[in-house]
């Protein structure tokens, strides 16, 4: 019994001493790695800071897109007046045979000649450059120097009276024809069956070669 008691005392004494000289390490305890703070994501719209304008030409529709930081996107649509169609250039003339008479042309040695008084009118929407009237006769013989008359330019809605002469047969009914042209391009042709059927009363018109507005 005494031996057992001594053994117990020695066991406690040995356990209190550091016989190995090295302290035992504690059992490792694993701890979780701290996680990063998650980022904050908000639904932020894309903002256009500069106005964006789109125009559809010619003048039919204008579309304007405007975006600012303080307002919602807006769309403005503006309808502008359509362009007025440009009129198609048209050369148009009217020819009036005012009358005719006969005379003797001694200067050119042609005997009897027929004089016709022609009114040339610009009824188109453009000026007529080099506007001319040419007189022909059914019984014409030699070419008279005054059978054609011209003006450099006949403005819109203006008229001019010309005196034209052809060499015709003596004491014969003369069929006449008048061609109106611009730069030698025929615009109109007018015929009269007989010059004697057209009477010119009084003297010759006083406004021969004068360009003036068309009379209503």
The string of pLDDT tens digits covering residues 20-30 is 455 555 555 55
pLDDT given for residue 159 in this prediction? 97
Q: Are 192 and 168 in contact (CB under 8 A)?
A: no
Query: Are 169 and 142 within one domain?
Result: yes
The alpha carbon of 16 is separated from its chain's Cα centroid by a whole number of angstroms, namely 113
Which of 85, 101, 132 is the last residue in one of the domains? 85
Query: Are 54 and 146 within one domain?
Result: no
Q: What is the pTM of this model?
A: 0.59
Which of 68, 85, 102 is the last residue in one of the domains? 85
Query: Are 76 and 136 within one domain?
Result: no
Q: What angle do CA 193, 195, 196 make, to 5 degrees?
A: 110
pLDDT given for residue 129 in this prediction? 96
β-partners of residue 184 are none
Q: How is residue 157 written in tokens?
A: 């809605």
Query: Are 68 and 152 within one domain?
Result: no
Domains held by the chain: number: 2
Query: Are 52 and 159 within one domain?
Result: no
7 within domain boundaries = no
80 within domain boundaries = yes
pLDDT < 70 stretches in the chain: 1-83, 196-203
pLDDT digits (tens, 9 = 90+) for 1-51: 555 666 666 665 555 555 545 555 555 555 566 666 555 555 555 544 545
130 vs 123: CA distance, rounded Å: 15
133 within domain boundaries = yes
């Amino acid at each position: 019994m005494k031996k057992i008691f001594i053994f117990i005392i020695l066991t406690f004494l040995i356990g209190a001493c550091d016989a190995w000289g090295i302290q035992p390490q504690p059992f490792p305890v694993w701890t979780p790695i701290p996680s990063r703070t998650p980022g904050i994501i908000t639904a932020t719209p894309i903002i256009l800071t500069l106005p964006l304008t789109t125009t559809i030409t010619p003048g039919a529709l204008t579309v304007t897109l405007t975006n600012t930081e303080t307002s919602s996107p807006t769309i403005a649509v503006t309808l502008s007046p359509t362009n007025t169609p440009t009129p198609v250039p048209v050369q148009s003339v009217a020819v009036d045979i005012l009358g005719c008479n006969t005379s003797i042309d001694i200067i050119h040695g042609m005997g009897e000649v027929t004089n016709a008084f022609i009114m040339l009118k610009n009824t188109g929407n453009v000026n007529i450059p080099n506007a001319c009237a040419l007189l022909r006769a059914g019984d014409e013989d030699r070419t008279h120097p005054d059978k054609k008359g011209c003006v450099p330019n006949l403005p819109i809605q203006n008229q001019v009276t010309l005196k034209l002469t052809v060499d015709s047969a003596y004491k014969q009914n003369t069929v006449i024809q008048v061609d109106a042209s611009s730069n030698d391009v025929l615009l109109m042709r007018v015929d009269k069956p007989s010059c004697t059927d057209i009477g010119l009363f009084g003297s010759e018109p006083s406004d021969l070669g004068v360009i003036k507005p068309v009379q209503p």
